[in-house]
Amino acid sequence: MPYAEWDERLSIGIEAIDGQHKRLIQMLNDLDDAYDSADRQAAAAECLLKMKAYSIEHFADEEAYMERIGYPDLKTHREEHAVFIGKVSDYEAGQIISYTPYQDMLRFLKDWLLAHIEGSDQKIAEYAEGSD
């Protein structure tokens, strides 16, 4: 059973962004799977590196979309993205040089991603629908 699952409550109705969100959830599941790896620390560090790189790309796309539609809370949304990237970077460094509590890391990443998609990202969709 996957650690996190996509369902329609996470859809914001913007196909490209929904696809990226699905990919981020898959990366979270890959990170969860790394827990059972023979070299858990290296596997987790690799998963986190990929998640950070993809998150940066996704956030840039999402922010560009918000700019195009004139989304009024863009600054706050960018700050939320920066917090996530900072936290992933901290976890990544922890996996490389020391130890990071694995379950705490997974829980934070899952909780943040799902709450962000269901909360902040849904607001983008609502704004976009209202500005049509």
In the DSSP assignment, the letter for residue 13 is S
Residue in 64, 76, 78, 70 with CA at minimum distance from that of residue 131: 70
Angle at the Cα of 130 from the Cα atoms of 124 and 128, rounded to 5 degrees: 35
Which class in CATH covers the domain with range 14-130?
mainly alpha
CA distance 71 to 81: 15
Please state the rounded mean pLDDT for residues 9-36: 93
* Global confidence as pTM: 0.90
Residue in 53, 45, 34 with CA at minimum distance from that of residue 99: 45
CA distance 30 to 10: 19
How much of the chain exceeds pLDDT 70, in percent?
A: 98
**Mean of the per-residue pLDDT values of the chain:** 91
What pLDDT score was predicted for residue 132?
58
Please state the rounded mean pLDDT for residues 100-122: 92
Every domain of the chain and the residues it spans: 14-130
Class of residue 39 by CB neighbours under 10 A (exposed 0-12, middle 13-18, buried 19+): exposed
What pLDDT score was predicted for residue 76?
97
Choose between 94 and 86: higher pLDDT.
86
